[in-house]
Structure 1
Amino acid sequence: MTDAAATKLSVNLNAIALLRNRRDLPWPSVTGLGGQALAAGAHGLTVHPRPDQRHIRFSDLPEIRALIDDQFPNAEFNIEGYPTEAFLQLVEANQPEQVTLVPDDPVQATSDHGWDFRRDHDLLKPIVTRLKKQGMRISLFADGDGDADTMKLAAETGADRVEFYTGPYGGCYDNPKEEAKLLAALGASAEAAGEYGLGINAGHDLTVENLPALKKHIPGLLEVSIGHGLTADALQYGMTETVKRFLRACGNSV
């Protein structure tokens, strides 16, 4: 169940797909482990289909859509990516509940920065409008650096939410002073986002250990998307127990 102040958990399947793609074999099963995660209480599944299909393949998307529709109708599908026309058509074909737009270069190993909302406003606004007309919630990847103007510009695109890039926070697990500095900045960004009517998601290098402090600084945190840390823990604890651990760290009753 999700408590009033709890944060929803979306399990990112990219790392599972990356492991599968090391061999021309159908295991580990992306939908199989995704189904385990949802059965354990996860609120949704996230994928980031990159142009080279190095982890999630385009053919995975309709299978994940069907898994949710047929077995977990209360769960959400979140598709992330840079909004090329090809990506937008992929999204429109699979109708996720949420689309998270990220400013990735296609060759990047992973997302590592938020949008420059001043520079990219004219790119983002019509895309946000296009997807929202189809009933999708739109989240924009953003740097949680404490700059209130950034949140104002993000809101002006018409997006529903921002997803704070928490990579720097996750990366300072052994540096308490830097961790405190980054948490303060994320909290300030969250406060500004709320003032401009934006909901708040977060993702990147989040763990069972660092989620509680993040939630303390962002009391209104709606959703986290977690892949690498969750998949690493699943190797040790199994997917079902790992999801429950992350749910508890997000404030959910399990």
Structure 2
Amino acid sequence: MTSTSRLSVNVNAVAMLRNRRDLPWPSVTNLASIALNAGAKGITVHPRPDERHIRRTDVHELANVIFNQFQGKELCLEGYPDNNFLDLVETVKPSQVLFVPDDPSQTTSDHGWDFSTHMDLLKDVISVAKSWGVRTSLFINPDESQPELAAQAGSDRIEIFTGPYGACPVASPASLLELEKLVKTAEAARDCNLTVNAGHDLTVDNLPALIQRAPYIGEVSIGHGFTADALIFGFAESVKRYRKALGEIG
């Protein structure tokens, strides 16, 4: 087992809770700091145009905390590559940008890119992000044909949408079928020399089977399940629970 973490904690839900009231708590930066101190690799946020959870000010505050107080930790910005989002990426220069094909009205990212429609756009925005020194990742469906297209677009990484797998009961026949799709997609990405990330509805119960089959996964981004656990166990203990599920600590 390794002491290096692959866990990036998505704190969108923390911001959503805070935004219910005109109050500064719960603090996004404070809880992100707890997760990082407990061993998380980094923090992921998805600043949507309506700022219904993460606000642009949160992004700047998180960047300041992470880059000044947590050397070696990462900030990942997730979003649709419109001009406003790209301006934020250029200003903040996060460790990684995950481009997702979301409509602003979506509640969460629930599908990967349609490369036949968006290849030119993706090539352009990836080239621009790389010129800023930002690592790039593309959100893709669990389909072994997709990593090659992501590589053609010039991306450094892919993040496989694991929602269909997470929606199945653990170890059920349906989950095993979805797991096989994830593994084949991950293998195809590795064959294209792309680093493999994964995210959506991953939990301490369904992570072990995925990591056992695809131990080369470089990063998992977890928000909803992590926050649900944190309501019971707290942020620091939830980091430990997820790192155990990843096989990183005993």
TM-score of the alignment, normalized to the shorter chain, above 0.5: yes
Alignment partner of 1:151 out of 130, 147, 150: 147
Equivalent pairs, count: 250
Q: Output the CA distance in 1 between the equivalents of 2:234 and 2:192.
A: 40
* Deviations, residues 87-116 of structure 1 (Å, cap 9, x unaligned): 000111111000000000000000000001
Determine if contact 1:163/1:202 at 8 Å carries over to the other structure: yes
Unaligned segments of structure 1, at least 5 residues? none
In structure 2, what residue type is equivalent to 1:223?
Answer: E
Tell me the SS of whatever aligns to 2:230. Answer: helix
Matches within 5 A, 1:1-150: 3=2, 8-145=6-143, 147-148=144-145, 150=146
Q: Output the CA distance in 1 between the equivalents of 2:67 and 2:178.
A: 38
Q: Output the CA distance in 2 between the equivalents of 1:163 and 1:221.
A: 10
Q: Output the CA distance in 2 between the equivalents of 1:74 and 1:80.
A: 19
What TM-score results when the alignment is normalised by the length of structure 2?
Answer: 0.97
* Deviations, residues 135-187 of structure 1 (Å, cap 9, x unaligned): 11100000113x33x21111001100000011111111267011000000111
Alignment partner of 1:173 out of 157, 169, 178: 169
* Deviations, residues 29-79 of structure 1 (Å, cap 9, x unaligned): 000100000000001000000000000001101110111122111100000
Tell me the SS of whatever aligns to 2:153. Answer: coil
Determine if contact 1:44/1:78 at 8 Å carries over to the other structure: yes
Tell me which moved more, 61-70 or 98-107: 61-70
Unaligned segments of structure 2, at least 5 residues? none
Alignment partner of 1:217 out of 213, 228, 249: 213
Q: Output the CA distance in 2 between the equivalents of 1:7 and 1:204.
A: 18
Q: Output the CA distance in 2 between the equivalents of 1:98 and 1:139.
A: 7
Partner of 1:189: 185
Determine if contact 1:186/1:217 at 8 Å carries over to the other structure: no
Q: 1:183 to 1:7 in 2, by over 3 A?
A: farther
Alignment partner of 1:199 out of 191, 195, 200: 195
* Deviations, residues 177-203 of structure 1 (Å, cap 9, x unaligned): 110000001111111111111110001
In structure 2, what residue type is equivalent to 1:241?
Answer: E
Query: Aligned Cα RMSD in Å?
Result: 1.4
Instruction: Indicate the percent of aligned positions where both proteins have the same amino acid.
Output: 54
What TM-score results when the alignment is normalised by the length of structure 1?
Answer: 0.95
Tell me the SS of whatever aligns to 2:110. Answer: coil
Runs of 4+ in 1 over 3 A off after TM superposition: none
Determine if contact 2:170/2:205 at 8 Å carries over to the other structure: no
Q: Output the CA distance in 1 between the equivalents of 2:116 and 2:191.
A: 19
Partner of 2:245: 249
